[in-house]
Amino acid sequence: MKPEIHPNSDKFVKLAEHNERKMKYVKDSPTEAPSDATDEPVEKTGRALIEAKVATLPNAPGVYRMLDAEGNALYVGKAKNLKARVRSYARPTGHNNRIARMIDATRDMEFIRTETETDALLLEANLIKKMKPRYNVLLRDDKSFPYILLAEDHEVAQLYKHRGARKRPGAYFGPFASAGAVNRSLNTLQRAFLLRSCSDSVYESRSRPCLLYQIKRCSAPCTGEIARDDYQELVEEARDFLSGKSRQVQEALLEKMQAASEAMDFEAAAAARDRIRALTYVQQDSGINPGDITEADVIAIEKQGGQSCVQVFFFRAGQNLGNKAYFPRHERDQAEPEILEAFIGQFYESRPVPREIFVNHRLAGAALIGEALSTRMGHNVKLHKPQRGDKMGLMRHAEQNAKEALARHVSESASQRKLLRGVAEAFGLESAPERIEVFDNSHLQGTNQLGGMIVAGPDGFMKNQYRKFNIKDETTQPGDDYAMMREVFTRRYGRLAREENRSSTSWPDLVLVDGGRGQLNIVREVMAELGLEDVPLVGIAKGPDRDAGRERFFMHGRADFMMPHNSPVLYYLQRLRDEAHRFAIGSHRARRSADIRKNPLDRINGIGASRKRALLHHFGSGRAIGRAALSELEKVEGISAKIAQRIYNHFNSNDE
């Protein structure tokens, strides 16, 4: 895995912003005045509007946007010649159904002129990602990939998992296909190289080695258990290994093991042996032989029944770092090469690009895409369709994975849509909901109050749409569920109401609230104040003794009701409710844990400076206090049985 030091991942965004600053919106030229001056001008739409725009366009590269009556983007496209490309839409015939519908819905067009066609391609990908036009192929999962970062902005380098903007100085290795893949590799690398993974603040505060040193996953430079020069040697070995020099690193370790064995230093020989074993494990390629591929992505698309799956395999430094399946949104009649071109443009819009990309279809725009990605990355990027050998074997493997993933996705989607139709029938909705938002609140005796919102739809849980709302209103009484719900709904739907774009994909078709008639009435009041009374609202109350299967449902203007205990729709709604509860509780616990880590004893009444000092002297840390039994707390000088009980309850209370 080749390190990328001081990466500039914002380069493309800056280029897009630069092009936006250079944008030249082309104005319509005056048209012939009507013969009867008293007649009202007829607003041009569809093909007539496009034909009128053509006369004003330059024979130059650029990006065009087709807009509907509300000003929403229908389609974003790029062109080597704007005039010629837009003129093709003005033809009376020769369009497929998708293009014909798009032309008929067009009420306006906007244009951005660029210096080159490469700039136009980069800007197009940026605008598609930002605007999500209806008629473009859309990459629906744009989460960043995890990396392993060897951070070197501290005198003692740190090895840890990193996700997000790569701003911290150091060497980045990846991308890995999933958090699980990077965690497995990181755990093994820690055993092989014994580099610290703790934060700088924890490193500076250590006075004795932590547990990782005891289990031989860190060399404990924090307390001087290893000399600084020896630690730096480990850092260099880790860098070499992650950069693809694994054979050299293992040969050097083998020499160390043999030398230690000959010197009868069996402890050092065993340590070297364990490190060799760890390196052997991390190099296992999951049964996929990358052949002579050192740095490449293998991308294969399979299409079936109007849906498609794009499977991406990542290879870095000759290692397979895993694969990930994507299901882009597109029209049924779009061809696989067209979908793949659009996917690649959006996939690499804000991600590092390897030097080679292998695809399973010949792409008409392969040369242009390669040129654009090369410009963005500063190194040569080539797109190939393998024909034979190891690369063709890898491509067939990727195609098979794409085919199997698509079959599973189609099956799950059919089942999911059947459930959504059942939800619509149960709640009297006009059609199956495309977006369901579910809310739940969480707190502990009125502390760390927050609300959670999860989102679900035809493709299952939409985790990149989840939101948490920390309760900010200081007048809210601790544990006042109604006031919390009012604040959460006011903030969520107040922001949405200001958008005034009901066709937006962020508008819910159904809102579920964890609670009974009281909670439902509160959220109805909020929605009425915001002018959103047409959004269906349903309350879900837990059954007696919180018995799953006996939930009651509440809707305005309808008596509360229950569903058959074996209803698949009921199971589905329980899953939604439980996911909202899990998300709210998890967010609450994370927030509470952060507060406890800051100063775990400050939030306990009756614990002043002297008692805090006595507890820390006795147990050594706040975490140890939290793990202590009640009898152990009572042994601390100055801690009465009553105070000990209070401390124990603080650390061991269960969330409701």
Q: CATH number for the domain including 373? A: 3.30.420.340
Interatomic CA distance for residues 435 and 460, integer angstroms? 10
545 pLDDT more than 70: no
Which residues, including other chains, have CB under 8 Å from residue 152's CB and lie 6 or more apart? 169, 170, 171, 235
The answer to pTM > 0.75 is: no
Domain boundary among 391, 408, 425: 408
Q: For the chain, what is the mean pLDDT?
A: 81
Residues 465 and 489 in one domain: yes
Give the CATH number of the domain where residue 642 resides.
1.10.150.20
The 3-state secondary structure of 291-306, one letter per residue: CCCCEEEEEEEEEECC
Interatomic CA distance for residues 656 and 649, integer angstroms? 14
Domain boundary among 230, 252, 282: 282
Domain boundary among 575, 592, 609: 592
**What pLDDT is attached to residue 98?**
85
Residues 444 and 583 in one domain: yes
Residues 233 and 189 in one domain: yes
Q: Do the domain assignments include residue 420?
A: no
Q: Do the domain assignments include residue 124?
A: no
Q: Do the domain assignments include residue 510?
A: yes
Residues 588 and 443 in one domain: yes
**What is the DSSP-derived secondary structure letter of residue 1?**
-
Interatomic CA distance for residues 549 and 534, integer angstroms? 29
Q: Please give the average per-residue pLDDT across 594-602, as a whole number.
A: 62
Residues 272 and 311 in one domain: no
Residues 154 and 85 in one domain: no
Q: 297-315, pLDDT tens digit by residue?
A: 999 999 987 889 999 998 8
Q: Do the domain assignments include residue 118?
A: no
Torsions phi, psi for 364 (to 5 deg) = -60, -35
Q: Do the domain assignments include residue 288?
A: no
Q: Do the domain assignments include residue 463?
A: yes
**What pLDDT is attached to residue 239?**
81
Residues 498 and 573 in one domain: yes
Residues 379 and 254 in one domain: no
Amino acid at 218: C
Domain count, the chain: 5
Q: 22-73, pLDDT tens digit by residue?
A: 443 333 333 343 444 445 555 677 888 998 888 888 899 999 999 988 888 9
Q: Do the domain assignments include residue 356?
A: yes
**What pLDDT is attached to residue 2?**
44
Instruction: Supply the range of the domain harboring residue 455.
Output: 436-592
Residues 617 and 553 in one domain: no
526 pLDDT more than 80: yes
Tell me the residue length of the chain.
656
Q: Do the domain assignments include residue 142?
A: no
**Token pair in block for residue 202:** 């924890």
**What pLDDT is attached to residue 216?**
82
Interatomic CA distance for residues 157 and 237, integer angstroms? 12
Amino acid at 65: R
Give the CATH number of the domain where residue 56 resides.
3.40.1440.10
- Contact call for residues 144 and 177 (beta carbons, < 8 A): no
Interatomic CA distance for residues 15 and 73, integer angstroms? 21
Q: Please give the average per-residue pLDDT across 403-407, as a whole number.
A: 87
Query: Greatest CA separation found in the chain?
Result: 108
Q: 353-375, pLDDT tens digit by residue?
A: 999 999 999 998 899 999 999 98
**What is the DSSP-derived secondary structure letter of residue 382?**
E
497 pLDDT more than 70: yes
Q: Considering only CA atoms, which of 204, 191, 189, 192 is closest in space to residue 149? A: 189
Residues 453 and 366 in one domain: no
Q: 167-208, pLDDT tens digit by residue?
A: 888 888 878 777 777 787 787 778 778 888 888 888 888 888
**What pLDDT is attached to residue 278?**
61
Residues 440 and 581 in one domain: yes
Residues 445 and 569 in one domain: yes
